């Protein structure tokens, strides 16, 4: 099964070393996995990348590694922050490195009003001339990017290329798709909702499990090829895998499986302590899960 230009983006982990610092060697291993999986679009410094536990200097150094090692990939740079000034600095740094697409969510901790969200995006747009992706993940930021706010951002900034909705609210996603799928790239950010999202107009998915397993990409490929029966079957089988991955606090299992697969001595930044508590058999169950389903 071959489908060109697969619109499944990997919201990538940050391949930390044994001290919890980004590793160039581990990044190369990760990028080799992406090539094997047939994924050529990556989103660094998002939720899976644990950007919120990294200093500004560490984020910059990792982005520099991406710029040097991932030239064959389409890169959507996460520039999210708890404050606007740091988001602006990351956006400017990304552009200075030659990146032309960024992903931005509302600031977090203080629950942002919709007017704050608009001002946040506009302030970042002042220092970045490329394309934007609106990232809606209210369970982490505390504020949903409402439809009218999205419309204001599209109109005022003029460089919004897409929307990633990770709310998990399929009714809200339906509104997003109804309003924007004809003009923007609308992506589903929850892997287990990919097929439902595609059926109502999503362009594709930003799927965290692609860090360790390409199975969810088959859902996309079957759907695009018009094989709805196999797309449905694959999504159902994949959802069992998704439950396994999320048995431990997000995104610990994804990191544990990546490290175990490649026998890497990696850890997560403080204060996360989950990986040492993950049962080895659970990791192996994840790694040994079905990676491809043949059409019938």
Annotated binding site for pyruvate: 206
CB 72 within 8 A of CB 38: no
Catalytic annotation, pick one of 135, 220, 255, 289: 135
Closest CA to 7 of 35, 30, 36, 41: 41
Terminal C-alpha separation, the chain: 12
Query: How many Å apart are CA 150 and CA 200, to the nearest integer?
Result: 18
Question: Which position among 164, 185, 221, 267 bears the catalytic label?
Answer: 164
State the binding site: 206
Identify whether 135 is a catalytic site residue.
Answer: yes
CB 215 within 8 A of CB 260: no
Residue 290 CA, distance from chain mean position = 22
* C-alpha to C-alpha distance for 64 and 212, rounded to whole angstroms: 23
What is the 3-class SS of 210-260, one letter each residue? Answer: HHCCCHHHHHHHHHHCCCHHHHHHHHHHHHHHHHHHCCCCCCHHHHHHHHH
Say what angle helices 114-125 and 147-157 make with each other, to 10 degrees.
20
Given CA atoms 236, 237, 240, 245 in this order, what sign does their dihedral have?
Answer: negative
Residues in contact with 64: Cβ distance below 8 Å, sequence separation at least 6, in sequence order? 97
DSSP state of 134: E
Rounded Cα–Cα distance for residues 98 and 93 (Å): 9
Q: Is 164 noted as a catalytic residue in this protein?
A: yes
**Tokens, residue 61:** 């150094």
Residues marked active site are found at 135, 164
């Amino acid at each position: 099964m071959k489908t060109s230009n697969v619109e499944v983006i990997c919201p990538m982990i940050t391949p930390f070393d044994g001290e919890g610092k980004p590793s160039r060697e581990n990044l190369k291993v990760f990028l080799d996995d992406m090539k094997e999986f047939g994924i050529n679009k990556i989103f660094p410094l998002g939720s899976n990348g644990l950007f919120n536990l990294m200093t500004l200097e560490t984020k910059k150094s990792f982005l520099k590694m991406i710029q040097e090692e991932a030239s064959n990939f389409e890169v959507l740079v996460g520039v999210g922050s708890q404050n606007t000034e740091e988001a602006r600095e990351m956006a400017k740094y990304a552009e200075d490195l030659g990146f032309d697409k960024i992903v931005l969510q509302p600031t977090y901790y203080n629950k942002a009003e919709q007017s704050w969200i608009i001002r946040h995006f506009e302030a970042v747009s002042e220092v970045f001339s490329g394309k934007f992706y609106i990232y809606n993940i209210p369970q982490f930021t505390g504020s949903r990017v409402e439809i009218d706010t999205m419309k204001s951002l599209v109109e005022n900034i003029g460089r919004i290329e897409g929307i990633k909705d990770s709310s998990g609210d399929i009714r809200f996603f339906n509104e997003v798709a109804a309003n924007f799928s004809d003009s923007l790239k609308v992506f589903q950010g929850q892997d287990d909702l990919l097929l439902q999202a595609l059926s109502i107009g999503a362009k594709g998915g930003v799927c965290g499990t692609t860090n360790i397993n390409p199975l969810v990409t088959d859902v996309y490929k079957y759907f695009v090829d018009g094989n709805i029966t196999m797309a449905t079957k694959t999504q159902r089988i994949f959802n069992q895998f998704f439950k396994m991955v999320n048995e431990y606090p997000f995104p610990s299992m994804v990191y544990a499986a990546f490290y175990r697969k490649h026998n890497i001595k990696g850890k997560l930044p403080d204060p996360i302590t989950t990986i040492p508590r993950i049962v080895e058999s659970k990791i192996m169950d994840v790694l040994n899960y079905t990676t491809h389903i043949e059409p019938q």
